[in-house]
Amino acid sequence: MGKVYRAEDPELGREVAIKVLPAEVADDPGRLTRFRREARAVAALDHPGVVTIHSVESSDDVHFLTMELVAGDPLDLVIADAGVSTERFFDIATKLAGALGAAHERGIVHRDVKPANVMIGEDGRTKVLDFGLARFLPEGPSSEFDHTHTATTAGIVLGTPGYM
């Protein structure tokens, strides 16, 4: 739903990732709501396996999120050719399961888990990204969220079919 750029925060002197809502959908209230819900989902998760969000911003009708920059490669590139060893597989899978488990404990379901949405940091960290299709569950402990809006429409499939 957004394009991600590498940038520098001159105030804090650090590199960040900036996710920009494309201009062609920024006028759509539903897309803007979903973009903000993504930020709320990520902000609700204080877990080493989930990317950290710094802020939700807008300037001249451009909407964007600033997030932690995870230097490394998405999992789809890590496994692209030769795959990974069994030991590395279990290391990544365990970290990924921990991050998703933390989200589920907060009543948040990612709904678009795929290798492109998992970053493997140069230091070996595994981080889950892109909560743009996340859903807040009413039975979860995350009662601070509005559960009446699921951001989906009957008959519309969201996500990546090969990973659903």
In three-state secondary structure terms, 152 is: coil
Pick the catalytic residue: 112, 123, 130, 146? 112
Q: Is 82 helix (H, G, I), strand (E, B) or coil?
A: coil
β-strand pairing of 126-128 with 53-59: unpaired
> Is 112 marked active-site?
yes
Residue 124, helix vs strand vs coil? coil
Ranges assigned E (strand) in 71-136: 72-74, 108-109, 118-121, 126-128, 135-136
Return the number of other C-beta atoms located less than 10 Å from residue 116's C-beta.
15
Would you please indicate which residues are annotated as catalytic (active-site) residues? 112
